[in-house]
Amino acid sequence: MYQTSRRIERAVTIEDLRRSAHRRLPAFVAEYLEGGAENEVTLARNRTAFSRRTLAPCALVDVSAVDLSTTLFGKRLPLPFVVAPTGLNGLLADQGDLQLAAAAARAGIPFAQSMVSMATIEAVARCLDTPHWMQLYVLRERAFAEHLIERALAAQCAALVLTVDGPVYGNREWDRRHYARPAVLDWPSRLETLAHPRWIADIWRRGRGPRFVNVETYTGTRMSAPQTAHWLRERMDASLHWSDLAWLRARWPRPLIVKGLLAADDVRRAIDAGVDGVVLSNHGGRQLDLVGSPLDLLPQVARFAKGRIALLMDSGIRRGSDVAQALALGADAVLVGRAVLYGLAAGSEAGAARALAILADELTRTLALLGRPTVDALDASIFAEGMHTGPVPAMRPSARPA
């Protein structure tokens, strides 16, 4: 049985938070949060990838003190987590990006702010005493990237994350079914939204809906969220090339991370281009369907990239044991997206903090039961050779929004 109480502190698993989030959100927002591309094969693979391996614990090891700390870009962190860059968080909770940043700060971990966040870079910076990373999509108008980089540098952002798996928008068919035309909800979705008065009161409590304020700062024009989304979609630079990394590298003197790689050769090219880190990612299954899980690529990439750059991954993490597997296969840390967004949607900052606490508690227990008292003790020896199971069906939301 899953916990169904609205009291966030009683959530035991990320799934508990997901169910609470579904009760609170209107269907069109819940589908934006949950959905993947086309047949959602990749969305399912992200979860089944974590169920294929069998763990092999070591007994009679002193695990009276389990240490989850790790080092990333020279900074010691209490947990091997980074809050992933995610957009439209202002539709999950009032001031969602600030609430999420505050939860990351409470946990002592980096917060990666999306370019399409709904809070300014400067406002997020004021929430954080932990590393503040800024995520970037490159538009055809390079002046926009230069504008964002200047502000990120002034706000003392510790790293820049270039997302490269979005030259065009993924085909998220379930999401599209809520709209009569781009950015305009159909009438059934509008009427269904009225069944969520608490969400409406929360999101519009300031007298206006959330907007993409970092884009507005550049354009000088106040636009609604749908108008801004359309503006961005029309300007995405589908011609972005490896040679453009030099242009970005010359403008960003701090750690530069490339997010969205799924091929070992691309990781090699990124290293040659002088990046400081990569995120193996399939965008949470939201871009191209039928691609593989970053978890399965990790061992191959770790053989030549480990120790040369920061090696990170995301996509599909819902349990502390998922984190342990990623670290054992070579990741230095993981980016957490949907798991913490479920908490945000269920209970704002407290919910996001609860999600991180659940993952940390599960990771601590997993390390103790594996007989590995530190994150550094995790390696491929935690897996039993010849004992791989078949994939377990992924858990998709039991009550998908109509």
Domains and CATH numbers, the chain: 8-382 (3.20.20.70)
Residues belonging to the active site: 283
Copy the structure tokens of residue 35.
Answer: 């959905």
Work out whether the CA dihedral 385, 387, 390, 396 comes out positive or negative.
negative
β-pair partners for 134? 113, 160
So what's the pLDDT on residue 218? 86
For residue 244, which of 302, 312, 167 has the smallest C-alpha distance? 167
So what's the pLDDT on residue 395? 45
From first to last of its 402 residues, the chain has per-residue pLDDT tens of 344 446 888 999 999 999 999 999 999 999 999 999 999 999 999 999 999 999 999 999 999 999 999 999 999 999 999 999 999 999 999 999 999 999 999 999 999 999 999 999 999 999 999 999 999 998 888 999 999 999 999 999 999 999 999 888 888 888 888 887 877 888 999 999 999 999 999 998 876 778 889 888 888 888 777 778 778 888 888 999 999 999 999 999 999 999 999 999 999 999 999 999 999 999 999 999 999 999 999 999 999 999 999 999 999 999 999 999 999 999 999 999 999 999 999 999 999 999 999 999 999 999 999 999 999 999 999 999 754 555 544 444 444 443
CA–CA gap between residue 310 and residue 323 (Å, rounded): 16
Residues 170/173/178/179 CA torsion (nearest 10 deg): 60
Q: What is the DSSP letter of 309?
A: B
So what's the pLDDT on residue 174? 81
Contacts of 357 (CB under 8 A, 6+ apart): 107
Contact predicate 170/286, CB 8 Å: yes
Contact predicate 286/36, CB 8 Å: yes
Work out whether the CA dihedral 57, 58, 64, 69 comes out positive or negative.
negative
For residue 358, which of 112, 103, 130 has the smallest C-alpha distance? 103
Helix (H, G, I), strand (E, B) or coil at 20: helix
CA–CA gap between residue 339 and residue 163 (Å, rounded): 20
Pairing of strands 75-77, 70-72: antiparallel
Copy the structure tokens of residue 350.
Answer: 């407290």
Contact predicate 333/81, CB 8 Å: yes
So what's the pLDDT on residue 177? 85
